[in-house]
C-alpha cells in the first residue's frame, strides 16, 4: 500500500477521496477510478487490498460517507 509521501496515483479519479477501511483483518483502499477503455467515462469504485481488486460500477454517490461495514458491502455489488 502506498504511503502518504507517495506521489498521487494517476489512475485515481481527480477529486476522489481515498478511504482506507479494515474488514476481517484486511485493509482496503477505496477510491474512484475512470478506466481508460470504458466509453462511459464514469468512474468505477475500486476496492484494493493485497492481491485483490474489485470494481463496482453502480455505487451510491455518498459512498465516502458510509460506515466501513456499509462501504464493504458495496464492494460485492456489480
Q: Among the residues of 1-78, which ranges form H helices?
A: 68-74
Q: What's phi and psi for 10, nearest 5 deg?
A: -65, -15
| 71 to 5, 32, 42, 77: CA distances (angstroms) | 26, 13, 19, 11
CA separation for the pair 5, 63 (Å, rounded): 25
Residue-level pLDDT at 64 = 94
pLDDT tens across 24-42, in order? 899 999 999 887 665 667 8
Rounded CA separation 26/48 (Å): 10
pLDDT at position 5, please?
Answer: 52
Amino acid at each position: 500500500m502506498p504511503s502518504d509521501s507517495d506521489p498521487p496515483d494517476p489512475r485515481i479519479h481527480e477529486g476522489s477521496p481515498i478511504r482506507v477501511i479494515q474488514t476481517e483483518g484486511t485493509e482496503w483502499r477505496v477510491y474512484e477510478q475512470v478506466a481508460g477503455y470504458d466509453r462511459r467515462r464514469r468512474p468505477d469504485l475500486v476496492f484494493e487490498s493485497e492481491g485483490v481488486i474489485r470494481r463496482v460500477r453502480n455505487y451510491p454517490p455518498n459512498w465516502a460517507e458510509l460506515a466501513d461495514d456499509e462501504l464493504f458491502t458495496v464492494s460485492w455489488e456489480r
